Amino acid sequence: MLERYGTMTIDQVLAPAIDYAENGIPHYEYMLNRLGNENTGKQFDNYPPGGWNVFMTTVRFLHQAIP
């Protein structure tokens, strides 16, 4: 779909996701307030620790696999 309809290269599309996976995301006041709420953590109980590594590996694989 990107090749047929897109105006960006696969490098341009995946670059932000790779950067966030490797370096984290900016911390905004709203997000910091949410993370400080005792109920916020419960929504992440279904995900294994280190899930970001799986995400980063997947994005890098896709980046290399798609010409």
CA angle 33, 24, 31 (to 5 degrees): 10
Q: Which domain holds residue 49?
A: 2-65
Residue-wise pLDDT tens digits, 14-51 = 899 888 888 877 777 877 777 677 776 666 566 677 66
Average pLDDT of 9-16? 89
**d(Cα 21, Cα 26) in Å, to the nearest integer?**
12
pTM of whole model > 0.75? no
Helices (H), 1-67: 2-5, 10-23, 29-36, 51-65
What is the number of structural domains in the chain?
A: 1
Q: Measured between alpha carbons, how far is residue 1 from residues 4, 5, 37, 61 in Å?
A: 5, 6, 40, 18
